[in-house]
Structure 1
Amino acid sequence: MNPGDWTSGNRLQLLENGEEYFPAVFAAIEAARKEVLIETFILFNDEVGRALHEVLRRAGERGLRVVITVDGYGSPDLPDAFVQSLTAAGVEFRYYDPRPRLLGLRTNALGRLHRKLVAIDAGIAFIGGLNFAEDHLRTGPDSKQDYGLRIDGPAAAHIRALIEATRRDLALPRQAPWRLGRRRQGPPQTQSQDGAVRLIWRDHEHHRDDIEVDYRLAIRRAQREICIANAYFLPGYRLLRELRRAAQRGLRVVLILQGMPDQVLLRWAASQLYGFLMAHGVQIYEYCERAFHGKVAVVDEDWSTIGSSNLDPSSLALNLEANLVIVDRRFNALLRERLQGLIREECRKVLPAQLPRRTLLRQLASYLVFHFVRRYPAWARRLPTLRRRSVAAEVEAPGPDSP
């Protein structure tokens, strides 16, 4: 079994925001019989984190194999009591690349475990952009718009294999033959396209640009419409060129980007691309209801993707990421309908008259910022760092305030 192969016959359920995603995950864990595996960038000791803690603790006490890996940068401040009460119940709790702070500052911001994956009993899995934090609830303090997906079927085993590979520090091989694996966009003609999906991911070994390549191929082969909704949009020249060419071919090309950014520099750098893209016919909408955290796209009726990868330098060149590519017309129509509703009700269209006048100083500043942000992953990879890996948590015995 190669986790990068196409599978068919999967049942897919779109889950929008934490109100739909978290109850679905928790119910699946409660119904699990053998195993629960989780990877997440952020796990907080808040309303959502404590709810996850409780269902995992109960699963461990039922004798299930339970493994959760959190990122050492995204989840650095969990109380020892929170972790130890899970390990006492038999849960294997792991950190990806934990580092000590230097003068109170985190020193491990680059090359993070940014995936959000859940695998249950090898037949059920979840993927998307949602962390286990109340920020993904509409009532949360920094509420975000986001998307997740439940998969019932053979693709769940591929997600399980990817989680296990990270846990065991294994590099999954390329598809063979390599050139065919890179060029194959859709499932084989002999395979049913009902619930056809393929797992794509980014790692530090053989799959460094797979997600970006799949985006570019999908855009290049589009016939009618491209809709990309992404929280952090600062792709490289080749992806920008494919979007420009698609718009020049007469396709409807739509971007849904952040209107209320939580990373101002990235948003400003992305906005410097607006004029270039709009001049060639690309339509840009900014989501302004709250922060946008989604990482989804729909191309025609035949292709969509959902997962953890932004279209920015960190996701495309540094982090561990995972997306699912979907060839299922019913699901793609539903996702397209949700995105069109977002455009109608909660977005504003960026108009050419709203763009700032391109003075020489502004053009120079945008050029420098764009190229700095685009190139810092190449510089970062040259920094002397310890080998990043997943390690078991080490905590002290629980105190009286254990959850």
Structure 2
Amino acid sequence: MDQRARWVGGNSISLLENGEEFFPRVFDAIRQARREVIIETFILFEDKVGMALHAAMRAAAQRGVKVDVLVDGFGSPDLSREFIEGLSSVGVKVRVFDPGKRILGQRLNVFRRMHRKIVVVDGELAFVGGINYSADHLLDFGPKAKQDYAVELRGPIVAPIHQFVLRAIALGDKGPRWFRRRLKQAPPVEREHVGEVKAMFVTRDNRRHTNDIERQYLAVIRAARKRIVIANAYFFPGYRLIKELRRAARRGVDVRLILQGEPDMPIVKTAASMLYHHLLHSGVRIFEYCDRPLHAKIALIDDDWSTVGSSNLDPLSLSLNLEANVIARDKAFNELLWQRMDTLMRESCKLIREDDLESEWSGWRLVRSFFIFHFLRWYPSWLGWLPRQVPRLTLAQATDLAEKRDQREKTGENGATQTTEAA
């Protein structure tokens, strides 16, 4: 079923910055749930955040709420038998997207991941953003705590988000009868208008919506007249996006990029910095966030367009992973996001100037730019050649997970080690 994204009016939207704002709101919503809780996340760890979510889901299920949680098999590889059993014993359905098999202790299923971060409660309240369920989204984690954002939504926009997560579960279960029955139990409901925000829910998959998020970016960048601010954890977009950003800057738009100055993976900064000369020459301003790793996937354009979600502007998000963003048209939300980004740039970022870049032989820079240009131009097509697996959801069984962990322990692998991948 092909669901086209469309603008929906009458919503309210709240910006949630970092785990300190996000986790309490989500956990409180789960505690107040009456009928249903559906959660999708790339990472779920058994740290203090994961255990708090575990407790909230258990309590909801024990009072009769239907609870479904979908985690990614690459991002959340080591959930223990006790963790899963504690949920399944009270009726929580834990599904794993494409769990894959380890070869010599290594996870090789690194492509086409379920990277979305969505929560829907009772079909009335939704959260969408980039925040995973791990303690590294809290400031007390230390210097490696991540800077990130999500939004809380109420109003008619929740209906398409709700239908989307139900459809994801049903298609993953590969049961047409189950698919029809589950959607029939929760048909689209026209929610009351609770605000003035127009919103759109946009997703990326490997079937019919391979470039929906990118197309939304391209359309609004082409129409920009005042400002473009993009804060991105992993920035290495395709040729078309780079071209439109440069064109916007040349016609007088204030184009600013907020990228990682203290990345969680050094290659992230290396990849982005390869574009710096190209962008600076066109008038694009680049700010590196230096307080700690930046994990944001947000943007604002002109006075009323904003987006928050899970999608980076990099090869994985634009060409491979399953992603979800909310786009809002609202001056008040746009202004709030601008204030947060402006504070970030003034207080926690370094403005990159051409003098700051390493001096390079101009000939080498020309050669490198040639190869970067053609890679950016063609990588979406190249990555599309990778196998396009049908989304596969596995209902997690505690016994199965225990057997997998035992096998890893026999090979000497520490199954409890948690690594934060590019999330």
Same fold (TM over 0.5): yes
Cα distance change of structure 1 residues 246 and 373 upon mapping to structure 2, 3 Å threshold? closer
TM-score by length of 1: 0.89
The alpha carbon displacement at 1:387 in A equals 3.3
**Partners of 1:221 and 1:378 in 2: CA distance:** 26
**Partners of 1:160 and 1:192 in 2: CA distance:** 17
**Partners of 1:367 and 1:211 in 2: CA distance:** 27
Aligned to 2:394: 391
The alpha carbon displacement at 1:57 in A equals 0.5
SS at match of 1:292: coil
Cα distance change of structure 1 residues 377 and 279 upon mapping to structure 2, 3 Å threshold? closer
The letter of the residue matching 1:49 is G
Aligned to 1:293: 295
The alpha carbon displacement at 1:157 in A equals 1.7
Cα distance change of structure 1 residues 370 and 70 upon mapping to structure 2, 3 Å threshold? farther
SS at match of 1:9: strand
Residues 94-132 of structure 1: CA deviation (Å, up to 9, x unaligned): 000011100000011000000000000111000111000
Q: CA RMSD in A?
A: 2.3
Residues 343-382 of structure 1: CA deviation (Å, up to 9, x unaligned): 1110010011011223234554565577668866644543
Query: What aligned pairs does 1:214-363 form with structure 2 within 5 A after superposition?
Result: 214-359=216-361, 360-361=363-364, 363=366
Contact 1:224 1:251 in 2 (8 A): yes
Contact 1:269 1:369 in 2 (8 A): no
Contact 1:85 1:398 in 2 (8 A): no
Residues 37-84 of structure 1: CA deviation (Å, up to 9, x unaligned): 000000000010000000001111111110000000000001011011
Aligned to 1:23: 24
The letter of the residue matching 1:53 is H
> Which consecutive aligned stretches of 4+ in structure 1 deviate over 6 angstroms post-superposition?
none
**Partners of 1:109 and 1:366 in 2: CA distance:** 28
Contact 2:19 2:131 in 1 (8 A): yes
Contact 1:3 1:158 in 2 (8 A): no
The alpha carbon displacement at 1:33 in A equals 0.5
Which sections of structure 2, spanning at least 5 residues, go unmatched? 173-192, 403-423
**Partners of 2:149 and 2:136 in 1: CA distance:** 13
Query: What aligned pairs does 1:64-103 form with structure 2 within 5 A after superposition?
Result: 64-103=65-104
SS at match of 1:396: helix
Cα distance change of structure 1 residues 373 and 81 upon mapping to structure 2, 3 Å threshold? farther
Query: What aligned pairs does 1:121-160 form with structure 2 within 5 A after superposition?
Result: 121-141=122-142, 142-160=144-162
**Partners of 1:207 and 1:398 in 2: CA distance:** 32
The alpha carbon displacement at 1:264 in A equals 2.1
Contact 2:30 2:121 in 1 (8 A): yes
The alpha carbon displacement at 1:162 in A equals 1.6
**Partners of 1:205 and 1:303 in 2: CA distance:** 27
The alpha carbon displacement at 1:3 in A equals 6.5
Contact 1:3 1:199 in 2 (8 A): no
Aligned to 2:14: 13
SS at match of 2:399: coil
**Partners of 2:373 and 2:94 in 1: CA distance:** 39
The alpha carbon displacement at 1:267 in A equals 1.9
Contact 1:127 1:149 in 2 (8 A): yes
1:382 to 379, 382, 385: 385
SS at match of 2:82: helix
The alpha carbon displacement at 1:261 in A equals 1.3
Cα distance change of structure 1 residues 374 and 29 upon mapping to structure 2, 3 Å threshold? farther
Contact 2:230 2:298 in 1 (8 A): yes
**Partners of 1:140 and 1:203 in 2: CA distance:** 33
Cα distance change of structure 1 residues 66 and 340 upon mapping to structure 2, 3 Å threshold? same
Aligned to 2:187: none
**Partners of 1:244 and 1:67 in 2: CA distance:** 44
